[in-house]
């Protein structure tokens, strides 16, 4: 943007604030060289800034500043002042003339002719000198306090403690690792000062000040820039902004590097993001929430349509209005040292999404979704509230840090197997019922056949029976052959070589692939031809035998005609019909005993095994969640207590019961008791088998008659498919949340809390741990202001450097108290929004804008401070 202020976000810089030059009488020029050589040595040591602190003088400060012009090194002018309590560093902003520092030295009692002398000391104690340095615009740091004649070695310990507590001394430089612990023990809770390490340009190995020692000890200061403004700000919040070990050696976490929006309300906006805490500020309608929603859109991790359809609809409408068709949102992400580019173009229909990885100077498309590359934890205001309301939905807060991929895949595969089993089971049940009905007629048919057979010659009857059975067998075989199919799928395709040198090897594969395709084609042709030949031969055999049967029937008819007994013709026709039906019934009985019955039993046993597998997988998932809950309970510091109870949610089970009960006249109370007291596995087994003992002990309010009525209803209305579907319904885990209010020690269920308390509990869970980026839209709207400080700020400070956070916010607590590394302020006209400024809070322009957006500006903030000063000073 044209007017955008971009000072950069706060990051760690390597700094040595105690560097000597030949300006010190004890630093020989032969061991240092020229100012340019000293600057080069500092840059070569990997330093971003140094302070020139010669003993009781500033005479080389201007020369060093001039030598650094055009380089990456920031040079801060300063001196090392000798006081009766030890040495004290005084450091000023870059560009401050040496004359200003010399004037301060004169005020401190160092005479002009004594400037640079080692054997003289200031006329004041360390505390007074620090006050005068601070009053002159400098920063005072007590030097090497644990060396001989250093501050900690002074004889009067009460006076030492007073100096340690003196806030005009911004920090304490130390050498030995146990010194910070000593200082902390002396101060207790009175103060937690910055403890820093710098080189003093002193080489213990050479026993002298030497240029090679510059940066040998250093401190990393977090600031937008390592000038005095940044260093001072870091020293004031040392817990977050000062490190004496290299932060670059700490593990990195996944992060969003930048986001860019091509058109629409924020068209042309491109924002680089800090890997730590980012806060988006701005008035209503400036677009700060839109930035988060656009990132979620690009990363394809928007509001869950299934859980929160209303919220998702609202977000989609906002995106449609603010982005518009064709707008491209592009996110750059860094994960495990790899850089990814995720692009998604907005459309009212299906949006186009692309995921690429940077390989050298090229972007290469990869077959991984955004959630696989960079999962995020994102929450709008509405989502936080809904998570607080829904015991099932908020299980997602636990799942966010669990790898449930394998167990969920196992559950999915088992459910698919159970659905296939259900289809086969329904067919098998129908087959058994049909065969049972047919075979049940055999006894009556046998009796009638015997009655009719007694009227005819036994040999004729047997011949008639055999003919009927044989014709039935051939008919069944013909149908089976005609229906028989063996599906041979096409062979998998051979890929094309990506590396030209490998083309010959891939051509060999393609040659074998061609042979494979030909073999599959031949097999198909041969199978089809053989089946057609068999079918044709069956047709021919049946035709021949049908002719013979017609001849047999004619012979029998002639005999009956010769007998003159016309009634025997009718009885013979009945005998033939009875024999045919008896043959069908007999075959049905055999098929029932030999095939259908065992197959049904096998499928029932298979289902029981699959149900056991499903239960084991779901139990494993629940145990993983419970393990995660235990971990979260340890990390939420007693603020929130979580539990995944054994009692699962039965709502969906209850709704499916409502479907199969229609017509049974069972009351809602009975259905409630069934849903709450019987597992769907057991209920379906009992109804399917008719053995109600499979349910076990019936819950109160449910009788055997109720189950019988339900079973009869299922059978009468053929609801077996719905019954089997109900058996595998998920009984979702719930997450019970209890929150401990600050005014009392008791834990209160989240359902009994106010809106703000619910949201606080959810945010405490969210911020407990993890490394995925966190995107939250204006959490303060639902939170009591002191709770932001009590529950969120401390946690954000404690977890700094382990996770990236992006808040759209108006909370001074999140911005100032939590000490955001980057503020992005936004403004809007009637038609579009834009980034107004970006940077760290210590930069004046950004600080001024933060005051405007958070407090309404200098005047109202001053007015409030004036009226509340009594409480501030209390």
- Residues 416 and 537 reside in one and the same domain: yes
- Residues 529 and 605 reside in one and the same domain: yes
Residue 452 lies in a domain: yes
> What is 17-36 written as a DSSP string?
EEE--TTSTTS-GGGT--HH
- 287 vs 306, more confident: 287
pLDDT digits (tens, 9 = 90+) for 654-684: 999 999 998 888 999 999 999 999 999 999 9
What per-residue confidence (pLDDT) applies to 861?
A: 85
**How far does CA 552 lie from the centroid of its chain?**
81
- Residues 805 and 776 reside in one and the same domain: yes
pLDDT digits (tens, 9 = 90+) for 195-212: 999 999 999 999 999 999
- Residues 706 and 801 reside in one and the same domain: no
- 557 vs 339, more confident: 339
Q: Residue 541 contacts by C-beta under 8 Å, 6 or more apart in sequence?
A: 474
Residue 237 lies in a domain: yes
What's the DSSP call for residue 792? I
Instruction: Say if residues 836 and 825 touch (Cβ distance below 8 Å).
Output: yes
> With b meaning 16 or more CB within 10 Å and e meaning fewer, what string describes 5-24?
bbbbbbbbbbbbbbbbbbbb
| Alpha carbon distance 819, 803 (integer Å) | 15
- Residues 159 and 111 reside in one and the same domain: yes
- 723 vs 524, more confident: 723
pLDDT digits (tens, 9 = 90+) for 368-423: 999 999 999 888 878 887 877 778 778 888 887 788 989 999 999 999 999 999 99
In the block, residue with structure tokens 């009525």: 709
Backbone torsions φ then ψ of 361, nearest 5 degrees: -95, 5
Q: Three-state DSSP class for 272?
A: strand
- 144 vs 646, more confident: 144
Residue 831 lies in a domain: yes
pLDDT digits (tens, 9 = 90+) for 419-478: 999 999 999 999 999 999 999 998 898 888 787 776 666 666 677 677 777 777 787 788
Q: Is 525 exposed, middle or buried (0-12, 13-18, 19+ CB in 10 A)?
A: exposed
Instruction: Say if residues 57 and 24 touch (Cβ distance below 8 Å).
Output: yes
In the block, residue with structure tokens 């710098």: 198
| Alpha carbon distance 852, 860 (integer Å) | 9
- Residues 288 and 204 reside in one and the same domain: no
In 336-432, which ranges are E strands? 338-345, 352-359, 362-365, 377-379
Residue 333 corresponds to which tokens in the numbers above? 């992400």
Residue 744 lies in a domain: no
- Enumerate the β-bridge partners of residue 82: 87
pLDDT digits (tens, 9 = 90+) for 558-593: 666 655 555 666 776 777 788 778 888 888 898 899
What per-residue confidence (pLDDT) applies to 787?
A: 74
Instruction: Say if residues 503 and 511 touch (Cβ distance below 8 Å).
Output: no
Percent of the chain with pLDDT over 70: 95
Q: What is the CATH number of the domain that holds 64?
A: 3.20.20.140
Percent of the chain with pLDDT over 90: 61
Angle, CA 236 vertex, CA 230 and CA 237 arms, to 5° = 95
- Residues 158 and 299 reside in one and the same domain: no
- Residues 413 and 556 reside in one and the same domain: yes
- Residues 796 and 690 reside in one and the same domain: no
| Alpha carbon distance 574, 582 (integer Å) | 12
pLDDT digits (tens, 9 = 90+) for 842-869: 998 999 998 998 888 888 888 888 888 7
Which residue, 709, 727, 745, sits at the end of a domain? Answer: 727
Q: Three-state DSSP class for 74?
A: strand
| Alpha carbon distance 763, 767 (integer Å) | 6
| Alpha carbon distance 308, 382 (integer Å) | 9
Residue 257 lies in a domain: no
Residue 732 lies in a domain: no
What per-residue confidence (pLDDT) applies to 559?
A: 63
Strand order of the β-sheet with 219-223 is 194-196, 169-173, 139-142, 86-91, 74-83, 49-55, 11-19, 219-223, 242-243
Residue 1 lies in a domain: no
Residue 740 lies in a domain: no
Residue 707 corresponds to which tokens in the numbers above? 């189950």
- Enumerate the β-bridge partners of residue 52: 19, 77
pLDDT digits (tens, 9 = 90+) for 346-366: 987 778 899 999 999 999 999
- Residues 338 and 420 reside in one and the same domain: no
Instruction: Say if residues 328 and 341 touch (Cβ distance below 8 Å).
Output: no
Q: What is the CATH number of the domain that holds 862?
A: 3.40.50.300
In the block, residue with structure tokens 């229909």: 349
- Residues 589 and 660 reside in one and the same domain: no
pLDDT digits (tens, 9 = 90+) for 12-27: 999 999 999 999 888 9
Number of domains in the chain: 4
Which residue, 566, 594, 614, sits at the end of a domain? Answer: 614
Instruction: Pick the most confident of 56-60, 311-315, 483-487, 738-742.
Output: 56-60
Long-range CB contacts for residues 200-206, cutoff 8 Å, separation at least 24: 200/18, 200/20, 200/143, 200/144, 201/18, 201/19, 201/20, 201/21, 201/27, 202/20
What per-residue confidence (pLDDT) applies to 477?
A: 82
Which residue, 567, 597, 614, sits at the end of a domain? Answer: 614
What per-residue confidence (pLDDT) applies to 1?
A: 35
What per-residue confidence (pLDDT) applies to 391?
A: 81
- Residues 192 and 235 reside in one and the same domain: yes
Domain of 156, in residue numbers: 14-245
| Alpha carbon distance 811, 815 (integer Å) | 6
What's the DSSP call for residue 251? P
On average, the pLDDT of the chain sits at: 89
């Amino acid at each position: 943007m044209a007017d955008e202020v971009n000072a950069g976000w706060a990051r760690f810089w390597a700094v040595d604030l105690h560097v000597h030059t030949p300006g010190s009488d004890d630093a020989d020029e032969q061991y240092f060289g020229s100012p340019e050589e000293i600057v080069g040595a500092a840059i070569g040591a990997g330093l971003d800034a140094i302070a020139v602190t010669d003993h009781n003088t500033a005479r080389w400060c201007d020369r060093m500043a001039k030598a650094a012009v055009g380089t990456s090194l920031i040079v801060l002018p300063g001196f090392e002042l000798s006081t009766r309590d030890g040495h004290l560093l005084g450091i000023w902003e870059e560009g401050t003339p040496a004359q200003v520092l010399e004037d301060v030295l004169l005020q401190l009692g160092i005479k002009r002719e004594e400037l640079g002398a080692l054997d003289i000391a200031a006329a004041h104690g360390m505390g007074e000198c620090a006050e005068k340095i601070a009053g002159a615009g400098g920063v005072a740091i007590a030097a090497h306090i644990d060396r001989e004649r250093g501050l900690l070695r002074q004889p009067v310990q009460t006076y030492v403690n007073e100096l340690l507590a003196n806030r005009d001394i911004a920090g304490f430089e130390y050498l030995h690792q146990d010194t910070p612990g000593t200082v902390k023990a002396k101060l207790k809770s009175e103060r937690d000062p910055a403890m820093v390490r710098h080189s003093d340009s002193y080489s213990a190995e050479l026993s002298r000040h030497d240029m090679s020692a510059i940066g040998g000890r250093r401190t990393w200061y977090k600031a937008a820039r390592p000038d005095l403004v940044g260093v001072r700000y870091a020293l004031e919040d040392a817990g977050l902004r000062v490190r004496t070990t290299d932060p670059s050696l700490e593990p990195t976490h996944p992060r969003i590097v930048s986001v860019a929006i091509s058109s629409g309300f924020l068209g042309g906006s491109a924002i680089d993001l800090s890997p730590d805490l980012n806060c988006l500020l701005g008035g209503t309608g400036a677009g700060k929430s839109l930035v988060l929603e656009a990132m979620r859109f690009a990363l394809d991790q928007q509001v869950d349509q299934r859980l929160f359809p209303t919220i998702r609809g609202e977000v989609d409408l906002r995106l449609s209005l603010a982005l518009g068709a064709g707008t491209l949102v592009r996110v750059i992400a860094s994960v495990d040292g790899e850089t990814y580019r995720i692009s998604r173009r907005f459309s009212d229909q299906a949006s186009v999404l692309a995921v690429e990885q940077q390989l050298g100077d090229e972007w290469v498309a990869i077959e991984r979704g955004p959630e696989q590359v960079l999962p995020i934890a994102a929450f709008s205001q509405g989502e936080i509230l809904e998570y607080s309301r829904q015991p099932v939905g908020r299980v997602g807060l636990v799942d966010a840090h669990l790898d449930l991929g394998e167990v969920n895949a196992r559950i999915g595969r088992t459910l698919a197997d159970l659905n296939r089993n259900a289809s086969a089971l329904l067919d098998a049940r129908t087959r058994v019922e049909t065969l049972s009905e047919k075979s049940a007629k055999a006894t009556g048919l046998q009796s009638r056949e015997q009655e009719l057979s007694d009227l005819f010659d036994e040999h004729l009857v047997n011949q008639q029976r055999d003919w009927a059975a044989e014709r039935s067998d051939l008919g069944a075989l013909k149908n089976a052959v005609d229906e028989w199919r063996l599906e041979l799928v096409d062979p998998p395709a051979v890929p094309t070589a990506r590396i030209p040198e490998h083309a010959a090897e891939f051509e060999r594969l393609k040659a074998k692939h061609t042979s494979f395709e030909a073999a599959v084609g031949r097999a198909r042709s041969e199978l089809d031809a053989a089946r057609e030949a068999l079918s044709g031969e069956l047709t021919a055999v049946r035709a021949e035998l049908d002719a013979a049967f017609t001849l047999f029937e004619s012979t029998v008819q002639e005999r009956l005609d010769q007998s003159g007994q016309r009634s025997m013709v009718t009885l013979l026709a009945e005998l033939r019909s009875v024999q045919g039906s008896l043959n069908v019934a007999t075959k049905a009985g055999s098929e029932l005993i030999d095939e259908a019955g065992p197959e049904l039993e096998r499928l029932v046993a298979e289902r029981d095994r699959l149900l056991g597998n499903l239960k084991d997988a779901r139990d494993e998932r629940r145990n993983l969640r419970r393990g995660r809950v235990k971990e979260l309970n340890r990390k939420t510091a007693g603020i929130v207590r979580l539990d995944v109870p054994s009692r699962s949610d039965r709502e969906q089970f209850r709704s499916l019961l409502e479907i199969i009960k229609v017509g049974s006249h069972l009351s809602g109370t009975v259905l409630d008791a069934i849903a709450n007291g019987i597992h769907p596995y057991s209920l379906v087994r009992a109804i399917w088998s008719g053995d109600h003992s499979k349910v076990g002990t019936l819950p109160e309010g449910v009788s055997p008659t109720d189950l019988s009525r339900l079973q009869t209803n299922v059978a009468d209305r053929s609801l077996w498919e719905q019954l089997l579907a109900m058996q595998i319904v998920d009984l979702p885990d719930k997450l019970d949340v209890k929150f401990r209010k600050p005014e009392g020690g008791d834990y209160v269920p989240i359902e009994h809390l106010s809106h703000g308390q619910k949201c606080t509990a959810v945010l405490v869970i969210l911020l407990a741990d993890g490394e995925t980026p966190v995107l939250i839209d204006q959490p303060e709207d639902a939170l009591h202001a002191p709770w932001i400080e009590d529950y969120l700020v401390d946690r954000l400070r404690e977890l700094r450097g382990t996770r990236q956070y992006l808040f759209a916010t108006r909370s001074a607590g999140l911005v100032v108290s939590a000490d955001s590394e980057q503020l992005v302020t936004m403004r809007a006209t009637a038609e579009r929004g834009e980034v107004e400024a970006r940077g760290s809070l210590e930069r004046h322009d950004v600080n001024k804008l933060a005051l405007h957006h958070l407090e309404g500006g200098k005047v109202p903030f001053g007015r409030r401070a004036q009226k509340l000063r009594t409480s501030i000073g209390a």
